[in-house]
């Protein structure tokens, strides 16, 4: 009966998460930079019918393999290729399957109620929900790593059963690993190798790995991965794999790529925020490390989590989503401690409770930061953005209250209340506040301006503001040029429009004078470029009555 109720509650959780993420995916405009690059490249793949090479406009995009582009193209083919939500839908499906799968992994470790709590903790996490709203690789990769690690865990936990029947776990392992390679290159193999290596060292034996069937597995992996690798190598004369390995992967290992460098222990410092509200359970989990090392199931989870976490802490390039493939293991370990009591001295008990409340209060701090962002970037939607941030703060207060009750009496209803309130906090942030931050959605404002002008331009050029969201919203054919080229563009395209960033205006007008162009008084859009961390002003120029040779600029 308990199992039935837990399963019913699981379906309710899946419905709540579906509503949360689906709404947010439709509300948030395309974000820079990675999301818009992925979505635009997937759209071009669908439109061109070329499912081998990956391009953003005319540039070869060799950052990631083709797997995520295939999935996003298929989603866009079904749902329409104009809306960014069509490309994000893949991540909603991946998240729902991940929640369902984590529940069933949890049943291997806990009672159904605790497995449900683990799924709710996972589904309420800031990092998990944030990534599910974006058309990127990481949520899909997380699911594939979960499948891979589940299969590996089954083999590991049954290593001493000499009468065990042959199973197909090795097929799941190698298939998921190969799919992970096609989605994001070496991450899935790295996690598998690190997990296996740690467990081999721990047991001083590699015999338990035999059911993975290394020879057959490598053949299966090659059958899945090699056809595309060969085709893309032929199509690009070897440049795709060369750029992917030396220009992307090795560059991230050697130095902080694209100004994303950060010192070691950055992720550890951010742990409380990235996994909030489940991070409330961190102090309790740390008290049970010794007990975790004594059990096979939790030992496996530690081997999944710790080596990869150490690796990304040591890599100079730091991005918030890097820990995502090991978040399921972290959440399962956090929930492992909820039914276990440790006797502490009065002084340690006070420190333990204080640390729990600090982690619980991080949610309020997170929403306070969101409110500050609403004030800074709300622009024309300032009142609505701040109002929604206040609602998020109220839900955060509810989460804190439920967490407080959980700390006091330890009832599951309060723990589930905490995680449900966490989902609502993130729902209001991602589906409410973020879409209303009009100052950061500059490309969306430009696209809406052109759409409402009543005269669709024959062609568009942009000078100084070259963010990928502009390309996704205005189309592949938008020209990304410099200021002088923008003036030449208007000379050749009388019905065109030039979007000129204010820093480029003087050079643009100088060339316009030389070309004797007559320009209409420009419309002006202002905002904040999150990618570059600077204020921007975009001037929308058309050829009309305004004389660029006059002094009125």
- Is the pTM higher than 0.85? The answer reads yes
- Token readout for 323 is 């820990």
Cα-Cα-Cα-Cα dihedral sign, residues 14, 16, 21, 27 = positive
Strand, coil or helix: what is 101? helix
b/e map 40-63, b = 16+ CB within 10 Å: bbbbbbbeeeeebbbbbbeebbbb
Bridging pattern class, strands 55-56 and 59-60: antiparallel
Instruction: For the chain, 553 residues long, give each residue's pLDDT as a single digit of tens.
Output: 445 577 899 999 999 999 999 999 999 999 999 999 999 999 999 999 999 999 999 999 988 899 999 999 999 999 999 999 999 999 999 999 999 999 999 998 888 999 999 999 999 999 999 999 999 999 999 999 999 999 999 999 988 776 555 578 999 999 999 999 999 999 999 999 999 999 999 999 999 999 999 999 999 999 999 999 999 999 988 888 777 776 665 555 655 555 556 889 999 999 999 999 999 999 999 998 988 999 999 999 999 999 999 999 999 889 999 999 999 999 999 998 887 767 778 888 899 999 999 999 999 999 999 999 999 999 999 999 999 999 999 999 999 999 999 999 989 999 999 999 999 999 999 999 999 999 999 999 999 999 988 778 889 999 999 999 999 999 999 999 999 999 999 999 989 999 999 999 999 999 999 999 999 999 999 999 999 999 999 999 999 754 444 443 4
Q: What is the pLDDT of residue 141?
A: 98
Instruction: Report d(CA 293, CA 253) in Å as an integer.
Output: 30
Q: What is the pLDDT of residue 410?
A: 87
pLDDT of residue 550: 44
Question: 127-166 b/e with 16+ CB inside 10 Å = b?
Answer: bbbbbbbbbbbbbbbbbbbbbbbbbbbbbbeebeeeeeee
Give the separation between CA 88 and CA 75, rounded to whole angstroms. 9
Residue with tokens 């000379």: 491
Q: What is the pLDDT of residue 1?
A: 40
Query: What is the CATH architecture of 441-547?
Result: 3-Layer(aba) Sandwich (3.40)
Which residues touch 471 (CB under 8 Å, ≥6 apart)? 36, 40, 56, 57, 478, 480
Encoded tokens for 228: 């595309």
The confidence score (pLDDT) of residue 404 equals: 96
CB atoms within 10 A of CB 296: 15
């Amino acid at each position: 009966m308990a199992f039935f109720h837990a399963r019913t509650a699981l379906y309710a959780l899946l419905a709540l998460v579906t509503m949360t993420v689906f709404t947010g995916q439709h509300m948030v405009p395309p974000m820079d930079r990675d999301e818009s690059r992925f979505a635009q490249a997937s759209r071009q793949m669908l439109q061109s019918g070329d499912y081998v090479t990956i391009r953003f406009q005319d540039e070869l995009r060799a950052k990631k393999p083709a797997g995520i582009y295939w999935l996003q193209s298929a989603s866009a083919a079904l749902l329409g290729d104009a809306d960014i939500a069509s490309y994000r839908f893949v991540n909603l499906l991946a998240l729902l399957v991940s929640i369902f799968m984590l529940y069933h992994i949890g049943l291997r470790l806990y009672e159904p109620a605790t497995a449900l709590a683990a799924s709710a903790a996972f589904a309420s996490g800031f990092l998990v929900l944030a990534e599910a709203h974006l058309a990127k690789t990481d949520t899909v990769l997380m699911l594939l790593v979960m499948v891979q690690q589940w299969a590996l865990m089954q083999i590991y936990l049954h290593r001493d059963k000499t009468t065990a029947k042959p199973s197909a776990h090795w097929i799941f392992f190698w298939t998921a690993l190969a799919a992970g390679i096609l989605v994001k290159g070496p991450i899935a193999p790295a996690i598998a190798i690190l997990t296996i290596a740690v467990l081999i060292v721990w047991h001083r034996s590699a015999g338990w790995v035999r059911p993975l069937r290394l020879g057959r597995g490598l053949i299966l992996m090659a059958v899945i991965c090699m056809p595309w690798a060969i085709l893309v190598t032929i199509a690009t004369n070897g440049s795709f794999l060369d750029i992917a390995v030396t220009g992307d992967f090795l560059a991230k290992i050697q130095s902080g790529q694209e100004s994303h460098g950060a010192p070691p222990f950055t992720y550890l410092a951010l742990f409380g925020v990235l996994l909030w509200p489940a991070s409330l359970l961190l102090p309790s989990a740390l008290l049970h490390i010794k007990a975790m090392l004594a059990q096979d199931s939790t030992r496996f989870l530690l081997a999944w989590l710790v080596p990869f976490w150490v690796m990304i802490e040591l890599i100079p390039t730091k991005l918030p989503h890097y820990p995502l493939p090991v978040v399921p293991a972290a959440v399962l370990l956090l929930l492992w401690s909820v039914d276990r009591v440790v006797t502490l001295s009065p002084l340690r008990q006070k420190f333990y409770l204080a640390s729990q409340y600090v982690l619980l209060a991080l949610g309020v701090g997170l929403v306070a930061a969101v409110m500050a962002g609403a004030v800074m970037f709300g622009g024309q939607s300032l009142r609505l953005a701040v109002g929604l941030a206040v609602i998020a703060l109220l839900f955060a207060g509810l989460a804190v209250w439920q967490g407080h009750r959980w700390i006091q009496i330890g009832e599951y209803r309060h723990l589930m209340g905490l995680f449900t309130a966490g989902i609502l906090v993130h729902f209001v942030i991602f589906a409410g506040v973020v879409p209303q931050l009009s100052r950061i959605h500059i490309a969306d404002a430009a696209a809406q301006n052109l759409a409402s002008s009543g005269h669709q331009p024959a062609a568009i050029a942009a000078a100084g503001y070259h963010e990928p969201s502009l390309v996704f919203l205005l189309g592949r054919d938008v020209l990304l040029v410099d200021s002088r080229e923008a003036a030449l563009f208007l000379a050749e395209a009388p019905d065109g429009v030039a979007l000129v960033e204010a820093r480029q205006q003087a050079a643009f007008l100088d060339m316009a004078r030389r070309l004797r162009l007559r320009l209409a008084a420009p419309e002006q859009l202002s905002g904040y470029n999150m990618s570059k961390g600077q204020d921007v002003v975009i001037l929308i120029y058309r050829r009309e009555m305004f004389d660029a040779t006059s002094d009125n600029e």
